[in-house]
Structure 1
Amino acid sequence: MARVGGRNAGFAWFVGIVSAAIVVTLLVLAAPMFPAATQWLTQTGGTAQRAIDPDAPSPAPQASPDATAAPPTCRDLYNEASWAALRVTDGAKVAASTDPPVSSATAVVAALEPSVALTCLWTSDRGRISTTVATVPTDAGAIAAAALPGKGFECGEADGRVRCTRADGKLVETIEAGGGRWLSTSQQAWHPEQYAARVAEAVWPVEG
């Protein structure tokens, strides 16, 4: 069959122009997804690294408008020295959960209703430690300071937050609240040096 000059060439040019316009449109629509895809790939790489080495800390969190964000894993609550000291204790094991805080002041804890982000339970031949990080109303510190002394706690302000402590034989309890964050620790017979203070440094990092 004889080819009709000009008709097919013109149609091909038209199809090419339409195709190019579609490609450009798709690229423009996909552009907003590039940062999210990059962040996903970064987080996936960090998760894979922690699967290979469970002792590896999580990547540094990205800036977030949520000022009450908690450390994402138990590992992130401890500096290198503290983590090493806990892990080498005979029989030491740690389990992460979202269990409610362990505290003798059950009524006060129930009234404050901390929304648990992370609970780390350490067990060893020396004893057990339960630490909970949670979010609470911004007035939780004042409420705790008013209610906990009646439960045998001594309360005071430290670094812009309320800190309440109680010792009863081998049991030592610490509850801190400030800036919408909650940190409580119950240490039964096992008392690593400066444990509560060092964990608080991870929950309320010093800015500057």
Structure 2
Amino acid sequence: MARVGGRNAAFAWVVGVACAATVGVLAFLAIPMIPASVSWLGDAAGRSSTSTPAAEATGKAASVDGVPARCADLYDEALDATLTFAPGAAGLTASSDAPMTTATQLVDALRPQVVFTCTWRADAGTVTTTLADVPTDAGPIAAAALPAAGFTCSSQGERTRCTRTDGDLTETIEAGGGRWLSTSERGWHPSDYVSRIAKRVWG
């Protein structure tokens, strides 16, 4: 059989060896990236399995065990609109600040672990709310300690709500089930604010 012109077996063999060596070098260089790639894929799969369509659509974090995970989750649509469009409203500010309350001794005793603090400002005044984790007996402790500080306490099912008014300042501290929700309303008192946010926390 006649050979096809233009082919050189030795040259083809050399090229083949060079290509194999190149592939080997590239594979060797890629080895350090394998753990990072596997980790990235795992994180991506975790985000995909735990996110909800609502969270993706709104940009809000999904609630944890039914409890709001950030300020935006604390308000129903009607209350959010009331606060957002109040005269002179400056919008919502979220932080991890400690609870704003005159009941400093109770705060020192319970040491609330702040989840978030939400502050609204408008021409009428300011409204600041803190959601935090506290010991499960925080409700009875508040009921026993706060009346001496001028608060009036009442039972709200399995939790305790204590309220104090001094001039244009109204303070509310609510605790139960390991959760703390405190609000300071100075000059601005949105209708049913405390009850409506409590429903978002305790249902």
Common topology (TM > 0.5): yes
Partner of 1:81: 78
Alpha-carbon deviation of 1:106? 1.2
Contact 2:66–2:201 at 8 Å: present in 1 too?
Answer: no
Partner of 1:186: 184
Cα distance in 2 for partners of 1:197, 1:128 equals 18
For 1:103, what is the secondary structure of its paired residue? coil
Q: How many residues align?
A: 190
Alpha-carbon deviation of 1:69? 5.4
1:58 to 60, 81, 101: 60
Partner of 1:198: 196
Contact 2:100–2:184 at 8 Å: present in 1 too?
Answer: yes
Superposition CA RMSD, Å = 4.0
Alpha-carbon deviation of 1:41? 8.5
Q: What TM-score comes out, normalization by structure 2 length? A: 0.72
Query: How high is the sequence identity, in percent, across the aligned residues?
Result: 48
Alpha-carbon deviation of 1:199? 0.8
Partner of 2:106: 108
Give structure 1 stretches of 5+ with no counterpart: 3-29, 50-55
Cα distance in 1 for partners of 2:59, 2:192 equals 21
Cα distance in 2 for partners of 1:87, 1:142 equals 35
Alpha-carbon deviation of 1:60? 3.5
Aligned AA (2:114): V
The structure with more radius of gyration? 2
Q: What TM-score comes out, normalization by structure 1 length? A: 0.71
Give structure 2 stretches of 5+ with no counterpart: 1-7, 10-36
Cα distance in 2 for partners of 1:41, 1:179 equals 28
Alpha-carbon deviation of 1:40? 5.2
Cα distance in 2 for partners of 1:153, 1:102 equals 15
1:74-153 equivalence runs, <5 A: 74-93=71-90, 94-153=92-151
Alpha-carbon deviation of 1:129? 0.7
Contact 1:140–1:178 at 8 Å: present in 2 too?
Answer: yes
